[in-house]
Amino acid sequence: MHTQKTKAPNNRWWRGGVIYQIYPRSFVDSNGDGIGDLAGITEKLDYVASLGVDGIWLSPFFKSPMKDFGYDVSDYCDVDPMFGSMADFKALVARAHQLGLKVMIDQVLSHCSDQHPWFVESQASRDNPKADWFIWADAQMDGTPPNNWLSIFGGSAWQWSAQRNQYFMHNFLSSQPDLNFHNPQVQAAMLDAVKFWLDLGVDGYRLDTVNFYFHDQQLRNNPGRGKPTGEDPALLDQYPDTTMVGEIGDDDGLARVAEYTQGEDKLHMAYCFDLLGTRYAPDFLHGVIQRFEALAQGGWPCWALSNHDVVRWATRWGGVDANPAFLRLAAAMQMSLRGSTCIYQGDELGLPEAELAFEDLKDPYGITMWPKFKGRDGCRVPMPWRYAAKDLGFSRAPVPHAPAWLPVYEPYRPLAVDVQQLQADSLLNFYRTLLHWRKTQPALVNGDMTLLPCDPQVLAYVRASDSERVLCVFNFSEHTVQWPIPAHLQVEKELTGSGLAGAKLAQDQVTMPAWTGLFARLK
């Protein structure tokens, strides 16, 4: 196990930072094989930096049989050839750092691929050196699985192995056996993998399914929740200016985020799925924020409206034809919450969820659950870069080249980057304006938050730093609202420059047409 050494300095860039998530398969294909890659990402880092974000998060690019598209790792310390080489990764990190971007990578520590050498050895016998590196259990007397635990992807969380004559546990696909984190050797091996990439210059990690690491050793049916344990913060503390964000999948995600980020000895920040559903009404948003603030006790959230696992937020919140004003309003709200924020590639373009035919699906989750659940492919189709290109500019290789791994979605054509860059009022340019302006507002980056009373149409709060207090008001309705400014707040002036427009400020009230809002400095 790694032990605590001298703590490196940390400038806490992540606290209030904006992180841009890149799904490598679907960002840019540099060699024409139909799959996005590291060299393609490096090409587009200037674009990412121009948005005004602070860093990038790369979804997995490690060696993998790709049963779950990289979330089934077979070698934690190498690049899968479909994404390029280690030299490509080093070039990506170097270019990102030149542009002032931090680089965070996805670490899948809860489970690995059944093709990983560790599992191959573990499965071979009950007495080999890695026999206890995974979660093995005998069948019940009638041959059924050890308990009633279920896989996230459906069915039992247990898979029979004829080689060991035992069941092994998997929270996800049966090809993703869960590692036994109660074994100190497993913890040490995973920390070695984390250290490997830190030594190559990465600035932090997104930890996949961080609340799934430890299982109930007694294998009880429907076990109660245990206290968070395991991730050794001492390792990252040895590297300057690094950070960890954890993905929390739990019935009470807000409570787990608060629990996992309190104090100085756990995760720096975490996110759950409360804003990744279909609800966005002011009373709902007010309740989510209020509950987290009550639980937080110093904990730090990372707010995301989209990622690679959920329907794109423009469709989830905005419907089939999302109102551009609504998308601007929701983005402004996200960027003014207390916490850090994550933007998923294409959020800044307002990309809707892609509709795919069953025969085009690649996601095993969607293939299994169709048609009730269509899987995650609809948010993973290729990024649209150029309006006139046959494949929307996803591949920069000469035509002809291999078709994209998921179909290019034609309705994205008018939303392509090269189109929106030329439109002064595009959502892309709104994001750029908003993010660059946000950097000039200390209260919005890392200030405290005070919610104002709940309203059926308006979400309002105050962000406050040592140097300023900012009133944030958002009309989440399709009707004009006259919102009275609370008597205890005295507005000094409206803050301009965010790109958010349409509201009218008077001495004691704000008039907001549908889907508009306002930022104002308080005296």
pLDDT at residue 1 greater than cutoff 60: no
Lowest mean pLDDT among 292-296, 325-329, 354-358, 451-455: 292-296
Active-site entry in 106, 114, 237, 247: 247
Which H helix or E strand runs over 211? none
Residue range 162-187: mean pLDDT, rounded = 96
Question: What pLDDT shows up at residue 229?
Answer: 38
Question: What pLDDT shows up at residue 161?
Answer: 97
Residue range 461-468: mean pLDDT, rounded = 96
Lowest mean pLDDT among 42-51, 309-318, 368-377: 368-377
Reported as a single tens digit per residue, the pLDDT across 71-102 is 999 999 999 999 999 999 999 999 999 999 99
Picking from 439, 512, 507, the residue whose alpha carbon sits closest to that of residue 472 is 512
Q: Which letter does DSSP use for residue 199 in this model?
A: H
DSSP string for 29-94: BSSSSSS--HHHHHHTHHHHHHTT-SEEEEPP-EE---TTTTSS-SEEEEE-GGG--HHHHHHHHH
pLDDT at residue 357 greater than cutoff 60: yes
Residue range 17-39: mean pLDDT, rounded = 97
Residue range 327-341: mean pLDDT, rounded = 96
301 vs 462 pLDDT, higher one? 462
Question: What pLDDT shows up at residue 417?
Answer: 98
Question: What pLDDT shows up at residue 199?
Answer: 97
- Residue 208 annotated in active site: yes
Give me the residue label for tokens 């790109």: 499
pLDDT at residue 477 greater than cutoff 60: yes
- What residue ranges define each of the domains in the chain, with the CATH number in brackets? 18-110+184-212+226-436 (3.20.20.80), 113-178 (3.90.400.10), 447-522 (2.60.40.1180)
Reported as a single tens digit per residue, the pLDDT across 264-291 is 777 888 877 789 999 999 999 999 999 9
Residue range 164-189: mean pLDDT, rounded = 96
Question: What pLDDT shows up at residue 195?
Answer: 96
Question: What pLDDT shows up at residue 270?
Answer: 80
pLDDT at residue 220 greater than cutoff 80: yes
Reduce the DSSP state of residue 433 to 3 states and report it: helix
Question: What pLDDT shows up at residue 262?
Answer: 82
Angle, helices 253-261 vs 282-296, to 10°: value is 30
pLDDT at residue 460 greater than cutoff 50: yes
- Residue 106 annotated in active site: no
Active-site entry in 72, 80, 106, 208: 208
Question: What pLDDT shows up at residue 25?
Answer: 97
**Per-residue tokens: 97:** 């750092």
Q: Tell me the average pLDDT of the chain.
A: 92
Reported as a single tens digit per residue, the pLDDT across 225-264 is 444 433 445 688 899 999 988 887 777 878 887 888 887 7
Picking from 202, 239, 401, 434, the residue whose alpha carbon sits closest to that of residue 334 is 434
Residue range 471-477: mean pLDDT, rounded = 97
Question: What pLDDT shows up at residue 255?
Answer: 81
pLDDT at residue 174 greater than cutoff 80: yes
Q: How confident is the model at residue 402 (pLDDT cuts 50, 70, 90)?
A: very high
Residue range 432-454: mean pLDDT, rounded = 96
